[in-house]
Structure 1
């Protein structure tokens, strides 16, 4: 029996080595099969999509800022309250604005009266210029009369001067004729001066008329510049009055309300924010090595941590950020020293959501999302 024991042990050792070889071959075959299946999945299934859980809901918030200053007298909404576009949010005391409207209305009425006065002045100056023209004619008639008188006295003087040597005309009569001639010459010169003065008066009157008419030429009561300016001031005053009532610029939910009744608010001061929950989108931060085949217009499927995987959202890629998150950080990374570790960067990809699905399952800005983009969709 002692001779058989070694043979049996050797036989058992040979069997064990055979099993081990088969086991190794089986294990190697399994690894090859698993590797092949992984290759097939990565090549034909995994390469069809890219996904990330680094995605968040975002939206274009509407900041409500009044365009006029004053004391808040009524606030009709509060945080978390849904509002519709045009809905009244709050009112500002409008006493000052009403006074400004009244002043603008009075100023417009005054400008209209002044324009009417200018038109009347133009007519009066035109009449004065016409009267000046008539004075020229009168002065010319006086000049003609003085010319005739001068001619007659000259002839009388010449006739008497010719007879003075014969004794037919006395010295006294000749002296009287000479005085009459001198008087006629003076009257003639005075008449000439009167004509010149009348002409100058007429020119001055015409210039005054032209200067006055230039202010209203080509205008009417509706188109005069001063009236248009007064109307603009009135429209501005009315607009400021309307702006004391602040309405929602878009549909959404009120957030970050910062005003209270009695508070004095300045023009441009932020009063609250309206979040357009029906027009939200998702910024998905994909790794840079995932974006080689991503294009605008590709379809995307998204789920939210808020609802879980039971609710799916559908959207499409609408654009890419102009830089990575690190590039726009407060202190961008500087890797020029040569002492650095490469970190895979992420680029925000904007995905537009379906408004109908948003209406059925509303989201809020900042919620986490998971996004998957279909790379086979190239429409």
Structure 2
């Protein structure tokens, strides 16, 4: 019996079948991966709200110069950790020492004037006391002369004394009356000088308080030439040099406040807000540390969209209107240990996920 013969397959046909088989397998795997990915995305969208528009935040504040002057010394380096009260910059203080010396001299002068016035008041009071004693003696002499005058007047009527004797007594009475009036006037003048000195004393006391305030102001301006760290933190980039002229209010440095802590600002779409509330736990993944998961909770929701807090808020009442989904900033408090949170730096991007 004759067996039928089979022709051998061409190598090109075998290669095409192998490529087709591999392509089909890869296509199937790709479809499977796409289905798994779509399933995960769908599951995530059904059970979670997420945004990748989030950043790590931290208080970064400028340290401004309160007075103008040339920089004498710089005591910090970039990225240096500092404590509250550490000296950062020293300005030239020669222009501020002179006002302090002038204010001290003016205060000493006003105090010396007050001391001299006190001595003048004391002298006037003693003079008034002496005048008061002399008034008492003059009053006694005046009473005696009035009695003598009355007696001699009666004697003259009885022709017991001569008119010359009577006139001598009358003249003595006039002299006693004049002396008494003069001493009384001198006493009133002394009292007026005492009252006037008391008024000058109030003026000098007010002047001393004014001079003291000017001295405190001069010393305060002098103290501003030494710029210190307001709190513990880390210094930012150094942009100043020794010998540079700084104006009042000009930033000398930037400091990152480590005492206030860090937080996440996540900008969620307005359509996601109904499923978000304060106290809700969140899951955070940063681009810098994609293998680490940070925990947090929603601390507060912004009362307005981020666009409303911009320098130029949008005005939809003019021109053509294109509806754009707005985003609201949400502040998220980090609840991990401080050592883990210390890895984060302000400005890092993050992805925030919240369970519905």
| TM surpasses 0.5 | yes
Name the CA distance, whole Å, in 2 between partners of 1:355 and 1:207. Answer: 78
Name the CA distance, whole Å, in 2 between partners of 1:55 and 1:128. Answer: 86
Aligned 1:306-345 pairs, distance under 5 A: 306-307=288-289, 309-336=290-317, 340-345=321-326
Q: Which runs of 5+ in 1 are unaligned?
A: 1-33, 163-173, 218-223
- 1:74-93 alpha-carbon deviations (Å, 9 max, x no partner): 12234444433322211011
Which residue in the other structure is 2:264 paired with?
Answer: 282
Aligned 1:237-252 pairs, distance under 5 A: 237-252=218-233
| Equivalent residue pairs, number | 315
Which residue in the other structure is 2:123 paired with?
Answer: 124
Rg (Cα) greater in structure: 1
Deviation at 1:294, TM superposition (A): 1.6
Give the direction of change, closer, same or farther, for the CA distance of 1:258–1:183 in structure 2 (3 Å limit).
farther
Question: Are 1:302 and 2:299 matched, yes or no?
Answer: no
Q: So what's the TM-score if we normalise by structure 2?
A: 0.75
Deviation at 1:243, TM superposition (A): 2.1
Give the direction of change, closer, same or farther, for the CA distance of 1:89–1:374 in structure 2 (3 Å limit).
farther
Deviation at 1:229, TM superposition (A): 4.5
Aligned 1:15-164 pairs, distance under 5 A: 46=45, 48-160=47-159
Give the direction of change, closer, same or farther, for the CA distance of 1:202–1:289 in structure 2 (3 Å limit).
same
Question: Are 1:184 and 2:184 matched, yes or no?
Answer: no
Do 2:56 and 2:344's aligned partners in 1 also have CA atoms closer than 8 Å?
A: no
Moved more, 283-292 or 243-252: 243-252
Do 1:72 and 1:262's aligned partners in 2 also have CA atoms closer than 8 Å?
A: yes
Question: Are 1:264 and 2:245 matched, yes or no?
Answer: yes
- 1:127-155 alpha-carbon deviations (Å, 9 max, x no partner): 11111211211221331243244235434
* Aligned-CA RMSD value: 3.3
Do 1:300 and 1:374's aligned partners in 2 also have CA atoms closer than 8 Å?
A: yes
Deviation at 1:54, TM superposition (A): 0.7
Deviation at 1:230, TM superposition (A): 4.3
Q: So what's the TM-score if we normalise by structure 1?
A: 0.71
Question: Are 1:203 and 2:155 matched, yes or no?
Answer: no
Q: Which runs of 5+ in 2 are unaligned?
A: 1-34
Do 1:122 and 1:209's aligned partners in 2 also have CA atoms closer than 8 Å?
A: yes
Give the 3-state SS of the residue equivalent to 1:340 in structure 2: coil
